Amino acid sequence: MSLSAKRVVVVGGTSGIGLAAAKAFLDESAQVIIASRSASKLSEAKSALDGDVEAYEIDFRSEEKAAQFFNKVGKFDHLVITAGEGAMGSFSDLPVKDAKAAFDSKFWGQYITVHAAIPFLNTGGSITLTSGVYGKRPPVGASTLAAINSGIEGLVRGLAVDLAPTRVNVVSPGIVDTPLYAGMPAEQRGELFTGIAQQLPVGRVATSEDIAESYVYLAKNGFTTGSVVLIDGGAHLV
């Protein structure tokens, strides 16, 4: 399936995996629309993508703002959501308000965005959400993220039936070298990634570009729906 001239909306397309996904779709000659809460990040991303995208602000936790966003975008073909903030910490110590905020962002943000997008999605289109490997193999301190990611994957299976023939899938990344870790000192970040790489069968940590290819595949493959694409370098095996 060609993506040439197809309109692709990437919510969270201003950094990390989302920005790489936007670039990957542009490489397929798609017309790309990126969205983020931050006007400055949108400007930076548009510059990084050589201005070849439409860019809009959105707070995807708000039904009203999500609806306003899609009214501006109009009809489109494929929706990709990479945005969403999680919460890490011991279940006993993590404040409930922090857990709820994480659900409001990563789970309900994706739910609300899909709900608002449905009237504008062209026939033959697709929706791809984002979960994470902690839904399958959570380490200590990841119970909240495990619940969120598992909830997203369950939602996708239900939506694949409810929204058929629109295809609905989810990408589940492992640890990825993204700006999410930019706040760590370089030496500490390097040690973290080296330690993780030594545990993985592939022997390295993922790049944003590794994960971005999965979103393109799911948009192009017309026979894939209700699926979880686990791209974690084998983390669930060790």
User: Does residue 2 register a pLDDT over 80?
Assistant: yes
User: Are 229 and 216 in contact, with CB atoms under 8 Å apart?
Assistant: no
- pTM for the complete prediction? 0.93
pLDDT tens digits, 18-62:
999 999 999 999 999 999 999 999 999 999 999 889 999 999 999
Mean pLDDT over 183-187 rounds to 78
Q: 3-state class of 216 per DSSP?
A: helix
Q: Which residue type does 198 have?
A: Q
Q: Which residue type does 59 have?
A: D
Q: What is the pLDDT of residue 182?
A: 67
Cis status, amide bond into 165, omega within 30 of 0 = yes
User: Does residue 140 register a pLDDT over 80?
Assistant: yes
Please, is 175 exposed, middle or buried when counting C-beta atoms within 10 Å of its C-beta (0-12, 13-18, 19+)?
A: buried
User: Does residue 137 register a pLDDT over 90?
Assistant: no
Q: 3-state class of 14 per DSSP?
A: coil
Sequence-ordered list of residues with C-beta below 8 angstroms from that of 157, at least 6 positions apart, any chain:
226
- pLDDT-based confidence at residue 237 (cuts at 50, 70, 90): confident
Residue pointed to by tokens 């959501």: 81
Any long-range contacts for 69-75 (C-beta under 8 Å, 24+ apart)? 69/35, 69/116, 70/116, 70/117, 70/119, 70/120, 73/7, 73/9, 73/33, 73/120, 74/120, 75/7, 75/120, 75/121, 75/122
User: Does residue 192 register a pLDDT over 90?
Assistant: no
Give the number of residues written for the chain.
Answer: 238
Q: Please provide the DSSP assignment of 36-65 as one string.
A: ES-HHHHHHHHHHTTT-EEEEE--TT-HHH
Whole-angstrom distance, CA of residue 10 vs CA of residue 23: 10
| Higher pLDDT among residues 184 and 210, named by residue | 210
pLDDT tens digits, 106-136:
999 999 999 999 999 999 999 999 999 988 8
The domains of the chain, with CATH numbers, are: 7-181+209-228 (3.40.50.720)
Whole-angstrom distance, CA of residue 113 vs CA of residue 118: 9
